[in-house]
Amino acid sequence: MPTLWIKNARVIDPAAKRDAAGDVYVRDGKFVASLSAADKKRAKVIEARGLVACPGLVDIHVHFREPGQTHKESIGTGSHAAAAGGFTTVVMMPNTSPVADNAGTIQLMKDVVARDAVIRVHPTGCITVGMKGQALAPIGSLKRAGVVAITDDGDCVQSNDLMRRAVEYAKMFDLPVMDHCQDHSMTAGAVMNEGVVSTRLGLRGWPNAAEDLIVARNVILSEYTGAHIHLQHISSKFSVDIIRRAKQRGARISAEATPHHIALTDDLLAGYDTNFKMNPPLRTEEDRVALIAGLRDGTLDIIATDHAPHTDYEKDKEFDFAPNGILGLETALPVTLDVLVRQNKFKLPFVIDLMTRRPAELMKLAGGTLTPGADADVCLFDPAEKWRYDAKAGQSKSSNSPWSGQTLTGRVKATIVGGRIVFDGAKIVAR
């Protein structure tokens, strides 16, 4: 295990309220307050002048597609994409083939993670058997198997009574419930945000209300049961308002925004480019501004990518028939920095907090800090470097990104997991 000495960085550690020029020291895979003279002589020195050293980024919403859909992504390639984006910890969704609704599938995922992943990858389990919304999955068994949360992400539980029972059981096992908020009765055949643009393009619209109704349902159930419900990829200005008022009452609600929903709007679908098709859909400028305001005042707790790989041949279809979803891991940091720091004048430590300490705490995960004694997970990035993103040359198996071919600002120069460099700014370094 190498001893590391990261020198002359701008060190940002929101957990310790640290933002100052300085050094970061790693010995035996852990952060330490200092190194002895002998340790410094044998340490691997990383000159980081002009760079930011922060905790490894944490993403609690990714799709790694394994088992069963490895033509899109695998746990190995997904972890590579995460490392290239500065992420050292991720939480993967259970909508695989088969879905992760039993302890055997969870163990399979953990075995593959141990074999193939270069970062820390945590599984979630399903809320319902087969993600069909009809009967509860064995939540206790899933907890014992090692899931960090339960969710039917992609297939929102429609039965209010079943969802009530799910959150009651989850509370007994101290598991967060993560919910993709979508009333299916309002979105049948819908492919983009309902509004002026959908009318002009002749595409079936997806109203904000489909999200708002389930957000309100989950707020009610959280207050009724005392369970922690995490609301995934919020996109609607009305939902932001519902969550804000619920938090003012003390509800155990948390919520996330994605880089694409704070950066893009439905106007971009004018060319019928399926790389802009996602669930929930891109919405209006008014919604986008409301999400940013929600991040600023704490209504929305974190940034999460909803990294959702699809092959070229799946996305290269008529807009109505292409699958929802885009890549997110390799572009999340520069896109978020651009929107929040450069455009909206957020403080950089605040934005780092949205992507490190806060998501780790929400899911009760280790990480998100540079505190001595903690596992040495580090993201080292240049906030000013401009670079051209080519999704086909990226680390993911898929290339469905609306940012492919664009120049982004802010580039990861190294990702360190447990004291080992796993991404050196250009390539994945073998474990």
Distance CA 162, CA 169 (A): 11
Residue 224, CA distances (Å) to 158, 163, 246, 249, 250 in order: 18, 12, 12, 12, 12
Task: Label the pairing between strands 57-62 and 87-92.
Answer: parallel
> Is the separation of the CB atoms in 58 and 88 below 8 Å?
yes
Query: How buried is 161 (Cβ within 10 angstroms: 0-12 exposed, 13-18 middle, 19+ buried)?
Result: exposed
Domains of the chain plus CATH, in order, are 4-52+374-423 (2.30.40.10), 56-362 (3.20.20.140)
Burial class (CB within 10 angstroms; exposed 0-12, middle 13-18, buried 19+) of 398: buried
Pick from 113, 60, 51: nearest CA to 332: 60
Q: Which 3 state secondary structure label does DSSP give 58?
A: strand
Q: Which residues share a beta bridge with 302?
A: 256
* Best CA proximity match to 239, nearest among 300, 161, 197, 185: 300
- Does the predicted TM-score (pTM) go above 0.95? yes
For the chain, give percent helix, strand, coil, nearest 5: 35, 25, 40
Question: Does residue 111 have an active-site annotation?
Answer: no
CA distances in angstroms from 373 to 26, 196, 367, listed in the order given: 9, 54, 11
Q: Between the CA of residue 189 and those of 153, 211, 277, 321, what are the distances in Å? A: 19, 15, 13, 10
Catalytic-role residue among 155, 306, 375, 377: 306
CA atoms within 13 A on the CB side of 154: 21
Classified as helix, coil or strand, 230 is: strand
Query: pLDDT (tens digit, 0 to 9) for every residue of the chain, 431 residues total?
Result: 789 999 999 999 999 999 999 999 999 999 999 999 999 999 999 999 999 999 999 999 999 999 999 999 999 999 999 999 999 999 999 999 999 999 999 999 999 999 999 999 999 999 999 999 999 999 999 999 999 999 999 899 999 999 999 999 999 999 999 999 999 999 999 999 999 999 999 999 999 999 999 999 999 999 999 999 999 999 999 999 999 999 999 999 999 999 999 999 999 999 999 999 999 999 999 999 999 999 999 999 999 999 999 999 999 999 999 999 999 999 999 999 999 999 999 999 999 999 999 999 999 999 999 999 999 999 999 999 999 999 999 999 999 999 999 999 999 999 999 999 999 999 999 76
User: Which of 220, 216, 147, 209 shows the shortest CA–CA distance to 184?
Assistant: 209
Question: How is residue 340 annotated by DSSP?
Answer: I
